[in-house]
Amino acid sequence: MNLTLKIWRQKNANDKGKMVDYKISDVSPDMSFLEMLDVLNEQLINSGDEPVAFDHDCREGICGMCSLYINGEAHGPDRGVTTCQLHMRMFKDGDTIYIEPFRAKAFPVIKDLVVDRSAFDRIQHAGGFISVNTSGNTIDANAIPVNKEDADEAFSAATCIGCGACVASCKNSSAMLFVGAKVSQFALLPQGKVEATDRVLNMVKQMDDEGFGNCTNTGACEVECPKGISLENIARMNREYLTASLKG
């Protein structure tokens, strides 16, 4: 395949940035999207130009490091995958592909397609944990049976990879799906109930402080989430938040 790429280039956080056109040929449909960018970068290096910076690591859809807004969609046109799992067979010969960073006030651009998502970490510091020390004296793992449906649902919420596609897809740049997933994981398990009140209040406060927007229920986040995290998690977080606020 021969393709035209329109890629966001921005030298650093202070640079204004612009879209730049590139041509790439002989792209195999079996390549992953990032392998296609590897080939482009090899071309750029060999011709003395600077390669395009983008985040990536595991390249199997689990670390959450890769991002990219491709043709107006977080992680590109395929569903249920991250950019590293997106394959070029989703595109046609002659296509023009727009490649931009995840955009949100809380995710400033570092360089080209690389953004700073440390706001997500700070939300987790505020309450994304159960306060238990590593003593080796915790009770036996089977001492508290957990209803299988709850355990499975907690697991589904916990599969969030923290990539930020939800924020990038939301017109308000809301992080409710990300925060809702973590709050839900613990709210569904008996171990998490002890600190439930503080957790949801602290995490939501940090989320607001970071400059993420509000949720207006458009549901774009759920559609673009590569892990299929459900909107149900936002509803659950809202219930938890309401209960906690009444208590607090």
Partner 1 sequence: MALDSKIPQGPIADKWTNYKNHIDLVNPANKRNIDVIVVGTGLAGGSAAATLAELGYNVKAFCFQDSPRRAHSIAAQGGINAAKNYQGDGDSTYRLFYDTVKGGDYRSREANVYRLAEVSANIIDQCVAQGVPFAREYGGLLDNRSFGGVLVSRTFYAAGQTGQQLLLGAYSAMNRQIGRGKIKMYNRHEMLDVVKVDGKARGIITRNLINGEIERHSAHAVVLGTGGYGNVFFLSTNAMGSNVTAAWKAHKRGAYFANPCYTQIHPTCIPVSGDHQSKLTLMSESLRNDGRIWVPKNMDDVKAIREGRLKPTEIAEDNRDYYLERRYPAFGNLVPRDVASRAAKERCDAGYGVNATGEAVYLDFASAIQRYGKEQAHIKGLNENDAALIKSLGQEVVKTKYGNLFQMYEKIVDQDPYNTPMMIYPAVHYTMGGVWVDYNLMTTVPGLYCIGEANFSDHGANRLGASALMQGLADGYFVLPYTIGDYLSDDIRTGPISTDTKEFEEAEKEVKEKIKFFITNEGKHSVDYFHKRLGKIMWNKVGMSRNVKGLTEAIAEIKALREQFWKEVSVPGSSDELNEELAKAGRVADFLELGELFAKDALNREESCGGHFREDSVELDGEQKGEALRNDKDFAYVSAWEYKGEPSDAVLHKEELEFNDIELKQRSYK
Q: Show contacts with partner 1 in window 57-96 (CB under 8 A).
A: 57-65, 78, 80-81, 85, 87, 89
Restricting to residues 115-134, name those near partner 1 by CB under 8 A. 116-118, 120-121, 124-134
196-209 vs 176-187: helix crossing angle, rounded to 10: 170
Size of the site for partner 1 (CB under 8 A): 80
Part of the chain binding partner 1 (CB under 8 A), chosen from 142-150, 170-178, 213-221, 234-242: 142-150
For 204-229, the DSSP string reads HHHHHHTT-B---S--HHHHH-TT--
Q: Tell me the closest approach of the beta carbon of residue 12 to partner 1, in angstroms.
A: 6
Residues of span 3-62 touching partner 1 by CB under 8 A: 11-12, 28, 30-32, 34-36, 38-39, 42, 44-46, 48-51, 53, 55-62
CA dihedral in degrees (197, 202, 207, 208; nearest 10)?
100
Our CB check for partner 1 shows the closer of 130 and 231 to be 130
Count CB atoms within 10 A of the CB of residue 23.
10
Interior CA angle at 37 toward 32 and 39, to 5°? 95
The amino acid that residue 149 corresponds to is: E
Q: Taking a C-beta distance cutoff of 8 angstroms, is the pair 152, 83 a contact? A: no
Site string for partner 1, 195-234 (x = CB under 8 A): ----------------------------------------
Contact pattern from residue 153 through residue 192 relative to partner 1, giving x for each residue in contact according to CB under 8 A and a dash for the rest: -xx--xx-xx----------------------xx--x-xx
Is the Cβ of residue 37 or residue 215 nearer to partner 1 in the bound state? Answer: 37
Whole-angstrom Cα distance, residue 125 to residue 129? 8
CA distance 237 to 190: 16
Nearer to partner 1, 61 or 213 (CB): 61
